[in-house]
Amino acid sequence: MHSLTDIKYTITSIVRDFRGLYLLTSDEVKIDEFRKEEGKYIVKGAYEARSFTGATIESGEFYIELDEELNPLKVNIKPKVS
């Protein structure tokens, strides 16, 4: 079983890559729900990417399913519209 830190790092990388948010850090990703079932991890949460000056670039919510090796099975990322 992987640690929550491993999973958070993987989720951060997935959101960063899917949304093109190359400055996104793991501090800007919040996991609200985490569970393991039938050989996969299910993770729900939110992210808020900020610039170097602290301004919000993009924020949103995610639902991501990972396999046992932390490869994405299902990715749903919804940016918030302002």
- Helix (H) / strand (E) element for 12: namely helix 4-19
pTM: 0.90
> According to the model, what pLDDT value does residue 82 have?
64
Quick one: the chain helix, strand, coil %, rounded to 5? 25, 50, 30
pLDDT digits (tens, 9 = 90+) for 26-74: 889 999 999 999 999 999 999 999 888 888 889 999 999 999 999 999 9
